[in-house]
Homo-oligomer: A and B are copies of this chain.
Amino acid sequence: MINGERLIERPLRWGMVGGGRTGQVGYKHRTGAQRDGTYRLVCGAFDLDAERGCDFGKKIGVTADRCYADYKELIAREAAREDGVEVVSIATPNFTHYEITKACLEAGLHVICEKPLFFTVEECDEVARLADEKGLIVGVTYGFTGHPLVHQMAAMVKKGMLGDIRIVDLQYTHGFNSGDDVGAGDALKWRTNPKTAGPTFVLGDIGTHLYYLSEIVLPHLKIEKLLCDRKAFIPTRAPLEDHATVLMHYDNGARGRLWVSSVNAGNMGSQRYRFVGSKASIEWSDAHPDQLIYEVQGEPNRIMHHGMPYLEEESLAVDRMGALHTEGLGDSWSNIYLWIAQAIDAKRRDDEAFLKTHHYPDINAGTEGVRWLENCVRSADAGAAWVDFK
């Protein structure tokens, strides 16, 4: 159980690019980071609108002189300080991730970047090399995967409680974009434009969450081939998609199916994961995140609750609220941020042994998400054809 005792040497000096007053995801970063004494927000370039960004920064406790007009200024001015920022979170539209990440790394700063990480695997590989050279950490905020029941699922699969994995069923859908985009806000505009969103809309926006979570639960399974059928029900979104189905064949013979959509009218909270094995299945949904359904064939179905002593140690170790008390999305983000902080701390201490076994959403996790997107797009562009995963 996590109770807020600091698990690293001292709080990291932390800054943000993006995530300003109007940004959708900024608050989740801050609530995630500022929980366990691991990060202290010291500076930011929070907004495209520099003035609004500064006003906002002050309201969240940054001193005026460290609210910057843009990330370049942030990097330059902080470099000049003795108590300069050490790690920067990037919560800006997709197309800016690559350049901001590179700039930060080059300035010797650790990075925590939003997903989808970059546009291409090539970019990812390049940045991974850079980070490696510089001895810096790049974390990726797959924010849902900090939930203790995600780690319960991974532990159960690892222990063999499901038998051989046969079927993977993944879904992340909502209906918020069922109407057309007339009068859409900024957050939707950049998401539906390939220049700012990258090669996908919902696949990258929500599908990468599904994919990363499935990698945590099934670390040893690899996709051999996949097929992606995507479509823009609102035509102005083409060539990007607001709906896609992906079929996957894994190297152990398992079959996967994945559904992402933002035109699933009326649908609330359908982030749903089901892992089927030869003996049993597990299912977890964001709609009832406190519960994990465990179904052994031929036995009564079981509902497991987070925080209960019968769970695996891997799950209990990362629980914050305790049984009967709702573990919220903010708690999940706190775990992600904590794990990244531990990685940065280890890096600072040159503790490679720790890093070898420490698990967190690192740059590889970001890269794999982008790789999966590339394969999806290649399949879709070939007419929803099967493609070998590469």
Chain A residues packing against B (C-beta within 8 Å):
2-6, 11, 21, 24, 26-28, 30-31, 34-35, 37, 56, 59-61, 162-163, 166-167, 169, 174-176, 178-179, 227, 229, 231, 233, 243, 245, 247, 253, 255, 257, 259, 261, 263-269, 271, 276-281, 286-290, 294-305, 308-310, 320-331, 383-386
A301 contacts which chain B residues (CB < 8 A)?
A: 266, 268, 302-303, 305
Our pick among B2, B167, B229, B290 for the contact of A264 (Cβ within 8 Å) is: B167
Q: Are B265 and A326 in contact (CB under 8 A)?
A: no
Complex: A263 Cα to B153 Cα, angstroms: 19
Contact (A329, B326) CB under 8 Å given A61-B6, A167-B261, A266-B296 = yes
* Secondary structure of the A contact surface, majority rule: loop
A305 contacts which chain B residues (CB < 8 A)?
A: 268-269, 300-301
Complex: A329 Cα to B325 Cα, angstroms: 6
Tell me, rounded to whole Å, the shortest Cβ–Cβ distance linking A304 to chain B: 4
- Tell me which of A59, A233, A300 has the highest count of chain B C-beta atoms within 10 A of its own C-beta: A300
Our pick among B31, B267, B297, B326 for the contact of A281 (Cβ within 8 Å) is: B267
Complex: A32 Cα to B109 Cα, angstroms: 30
Q: Are B321 and A295 in contact (CB under 8 A)?
A: no
Tell me, rounded to whole Å, the shortest Cβ–Cβ distance linking A169 to chain B: 8
Closest to A169 in B: B259
Closest to A179 in B: B297
Complex: A233 Cα to B281 Cα, angstroms: 15
Which 4 interchain pairs have the tightest Cβ spacing? A328-B328, A266-B295, A300-B302, A5-B59
- Tell me which of A5, A26, A231, A265 has the highest count of chain B C-beta atoms within 10 A of its own C-beta: A265
Q: Are B328 and A60 in contact (CB under 8 A)?
A: no
Tell me, rounded to whole Å, the shortest Cβ–Cβ distance linking A206 to chain B: 10
Complex: A265 Cα to B161 Cα, angstroms: 12
Closest to A303 in B: B301
A167 contacts which chain B residues (CB < 8 A)?
A: 243, 261, 263-264
